[in-house]
Amino acid sequence: MQATATVNYHIASPEQQAFHIDAGGVVGNLISPELVPTKILVTDAREDLEPVSFAADSVSFVKSVSAVKKFDVTIDWEKAYNSELTDLLAERAGAREVVIFDHTVRVNDPDATRKPARNVHSDYSPEGAHRRLRDLLGDEKAKTWEAGHFSFVNVWRPVGNPITNAPLGFVRPRSVAEKDWLTIKLIYPDRVGSILGLVANNAHEWVYLSDMTPDEVAFFNIYDNQGKPSIAHSALDMVCDHSAEIPRKSIESRALVRY
């Protein structure tokens, strides 16, 4: 079954584009490059006859019940949750070493500090991934990881309630042409990174999992040094009745994985 949604694609340009994050030192202040709102058709993986898999599509949707129910500063939850994610990536992705290094809680509310990301992107460019590897491990250890097979993987989970708005959608890598990707700078107050932004293409095949619950996760590849495709993704603004919706709350966790 397919539904209609709106996403914001990047625009091809010969000039370097950038997001300014926490601009001016204000947490949550985001200055974005120009984006183009685009209507897309998106397939519900719950009903699709063609399964979505991490091996084939760089994303998988799985049941993964967590003992952690709240992700806020008043609770010491990171150690337990990191252990759960490490086990998940070992079992489901074949990881033999996992470094969880970042958690971001997003709320679909205009007043939220971190809102759903509404640009079609993948989290690291190759340059940005190797720079982040060195930031996390230091130069010497990073060289050891680079000599083998490593990747960055994002694990995304609803928090508190099922997702009834702004679900996370993905573009199957097989439908993306190399020319569709742009390198976009991320300018933070204390560092500079880079991601991949995606330009619109009618060939793109979008997929999502409807009504995801806190007992389900999507884990997906955002960089792999041996060629597994990075997967483009974005919050989806669904074209439907929004009257009974609860604002989406989710947590995304980034992991450095060694195979």
Domain ranges of the chain: 2-258
Q: Residue-wise pLDDT tens for the chain (259 aa)?
A: 799 999 999 999 888 888 787 877 777 677 788 899 999 999 999 997 789 999 999 999 999 999 999 998 777 999 999 999 999 999 999 999 999 999 999 999 988 889 999 999 999 999 999 999 999 999 999 999 999 999 999 999 999 999 999 999 999 999 999 999 999 988 888 888 889 999 999 999 999 999 999 999 999 999 999 999 999 999 999 988 665 678 899 999 999 999 9
Q: Which helix (H) or strand (E) holds 78?
A: helix 78-93
HSE-CB of 21 using CA atoms within 13 angstroms: 15
Give the CATH number of domain 2-258.
2.60.120
* ∠ CA 258-94-232, rounded to 5°: 75
Q: Tokens for 108?
A: 């679909």
Q: Is the pTM of this model over 0.95?
A: no
91, amino acid identity = E
Q: Tokens for 110?
A: 């205009």
Residues counted in the chain: 259
Residue 59: Cβ-neighbour burial (10 angstroms; 0-12, 13-18, 19+): buried
Candidates 207, 223, 215; CA nearest to 69 is: 215
Contact 212, 167 (CB under 8 A): yes
